[in-house]
Chains A and B, each alone.
Chain A
Amino acid sequence: MALPSISAIALNNIGKIMTDNSLKMTARDVSVWYGDKQAINNVSIDIATEHVTAFIGPSGCGKSTFLRTLNRMNDTIASCKVGGKIELDGSDIYDPKMDVVQLRARVGMVFQKPNPFPKSIYENVAYGPRIHGLTKTKAELDALVEKYLTRAGLWNEVKDRLHESGTALSGGQQQRLCIARAIAVSPEVILMDEPCSALDPIATAKIEELIDELRGRYAIVMVTHNMQQAARVSQRTAFFHLGTMVEYGATSEIFQNPRETQTKDYITGRYG
């Protein structure tokens, strides 16, 4: 898609990051306050369509808070105020005219703890398409559910028990179901808030594999505590510390040749 030139200018400020026709979201000087307490301080970042972008940093550094500003999930917290500008395809998502329902359909989310609805597996995936009226007939909806369960790598495991409760699945399966539910409304961006932190290593490996398969189709932004995971699945990494973004660049650069000593200390395990 064509992008407004302002994004190209913004790109030059960040420098040597990406080709301009892949830019999906841009954040400029974003600050977040919870009441009087500032949680995020002047963060600027570009999110590319074809990349997995990882946010790393110690606990409480604001990476999850920042992630939630990208689809306005923080709107549910009354004391939360956001300053600066976040754009999706060039339009300001904090504009009063922005439709939050549409925004969240375009920028989907997968949460830390798998949170399937206590409904059937089928209903979990069908819910989004149904509320947005994406299908007209039952057959279309069936096909959609199969398509996205397949894309989330879950179809073969659940095809014979689509009408059993989603909460009866294992943790890893539940998380893949949540991914299927998120992609079933055809989002453009998927935000993942530590999607593997409640899972065992085998389930984690499957999710990482899945993220790799989804890359390119959706812009993926992932918060992780696990630096190896960031190194394995992401192409770009942002390092957060105490509410500021210390460094942002290609994952290989950040891990092998970080510019900032703070980043280096964190990556080599001095703290965090």
Chain B
Amino acid sequence: MNSELAARAPTNWVSTEMTSRIAKRYAAERRFRLIGLFAVSLSAAFLAFLLYSMLAKGFAGLSLSFLTNSDATEASEVGIWGAFKGSLLTMIVTLGLAFPIGVLSAVYLEEYAPRNRWTDMIEVSINNLAAVPSIIFGLLGLAVFLNFMNLPRSAPLVGGMTLALMTMPVIVISGRNAIKSVPPSIRDAALGVGASRVQVVFHHVLPLALPGILTGTIIGMARALGETAPLLMIGMRAFIATPPTGITAPSSVLPVQIFLWSDEVDRAFIEKTSAAIIVLLVFLLAMNGLAIYLRNRFEQHW
């Protein structure tokens, strides 16, 4: 504080000295608002550009046959259904593995595990795991699921398992944060009427943490849906002309299909690539919409 100013008490609030100080504060506020607006419009502009260019190029490629056919050698005959179904099956496997394992790990680490060097180490490892590049998970999937366990190549089962490895740490981290944010008073209340620890967790803590866990899960799933690199490693880049019949059948997935088509020499594929991106974006938007719906549905109002 300016001691000279402080010494001149009482402050004359209407003096030019003070009014200009206040004006400066308003100017700082206006500057901040402009910078913020600029940052938001920059990211919004990129999204708008992406949507516009994809719609402009790909809209003509969207037709009933595009939505129901699978990959083909001729650009005029290709369709997205095979890759879409492959992505759907892969996501189901990923969710079915990563969600229960992730949530149970989060519950164990938050509610049961003692705080010691081991759990500290596990915590650090999980945080690191979430940051490991996805190609590494692809190599891990290749080594463990294909070469060691001899699971079928190019299958949604293996793709889903590989992506589950990647998604699980995200679910554990968001799950732990959600569990941590459940007020201790609720645990006390339940323990106080004689609930066991498992009852406290399943009757009170998990229901209250669920919106947070679901948000984290959907973020992880959305990332997994767009993941290409690890799936290339486990053979999901093969040319597959029929939609998969089950989780062990050879299949493609949306992002890999986009990658493959974008590599084609035939210029007619440009339209198909854009159309496939539109389908992928719609899938993503639907998932995010579901996340918002579920979060609002389960949100507790205090």
Question: Which A residues contact B (CB, under 8 angstroms)?
Answer: 71, 73, 76, 78, 101-105, 108-111, 113, 115-118, 127-128, 131-132, 165, 167, 178, 181-182, 184-185
A73 x B191 contact (CB < 8 A):
yes
Partner of B193, one of A78, A105, A113, A165: A105
Stretch from B53-61, B102-110, B150-158, B180-188 at the A interface:
B180-188
Residues of A within 8 A of B187 (CB): 76
> What are 25 A-to-B residue pairs whose CB atoms are below 8 Å?
A73-B192, A76-B187, A76-B188, A76-B191, A78-B115, A103-B194, A104-B194, A105-B194, A108-B192, A109-B192, A111-B189, A115-B185, A115-B188, A116-B189, A117-B189, A117-B190, A118-B186, A118-B302, A128-B193, A131-B193, A132-B194, A167-B301, A182-B192, A184-B193, A185-B194
Q: Report the interface size class on chain B.
A: 20 to 34
Which residue in chain A gives the minimum CB-CB distance to B114?
A78
Interfacial residues of chain B within 246-302, with CB under 8 A of chain A in the complex? 300-302
Q: Which residues of A contact B190 (CB under 8 A)?
A: 117, 127
CB distance from A139 to the nearest CB of B (A): 22
Nearest opposing residue in chain A for B183, CB measure: A115
Given A78-B114, A108-B193, A117-B204, A165–B188 Cβ distance below 8 Å? no
List B residues 179-219 near A (Cβ within 8 Å): 183, 185-196, 199, 203-204, 208
| A residues less than 8 Å from B189 (CB atoms) | 111, 115-117, 178, 181
Q: How far is the CA of A113 from the CA of B301 in the complex (A)?
A: 18
Q: Which residues of B sit under 8 angstroms from A118, Cβ to Cβ? A: 186, 208, 300-302
Chain B residue nearest in CB terms to A125: B193
With the chains together, A165 CA to B114 CA distance in Å? 34
Q: Which 5 A-B pairs have the closest CB atoms?
A: A105-B194, A128-B193, A115-B185, A109-B192, A104-B194
Nearest CB of B to A31, in Å: 23
Residue ID in chain A nearest B187 by CB atoms: A76
A sample of 6 more A-B contacts (CB under 8 A), given A104-B193, A111-B192, is A101-B195, A108-B193, A110-B192, A115-B185, A115-B189, A127-B203
- Docked Cα-Cα span, A133 to B253, in Å, equals 50
Chain B residues with CB below 8 A from A165, complex form: 301
- Beta-carbon contact of B302 and A167 below 8 Å: yes
Give min CB distance, A54 to chain B, whole Å. Answer: 20
Contact present for A102 and B194 (CB under 8 Å): yes
Across the interface, A104 reaches (CB within 8 A) one of B115, B186, B192, namely B192
Given contact pairs A115-B185, A115-B186, A131-B199, A104 touches B191 in the complex (Cβ within 8 A): yes
Specify which chain A residues have a CB less than 8 angstroms from the CB of B186 in the assembled complex.
115, 117-118
Shortest B81–chain A CB gap in Å is: 44
| Distance in angstroms between the alpha carbons of A117 and B193 in the assembled complex | 12
Residues of A within 8 A of B195 (CB): 101, 127, 131
**In the bound complex, what is the Cα–Cα distance between A78 and B196 (angstroms)?**
17
Chain A residues closer than 8 Å to B193, beta-carbon distance: 104-105, 108, 127-128, 131, 181-182, 184-185
**In the bound complex, how far is the Cα of B193 from the Cα of A134, in angstroms?**
13
Of all chain A residues, which has the CB nearest B194? Answer: A105
User: A111's contact among B185, B204, B301, by CB below 8 Å, is which?
Assistant: B185
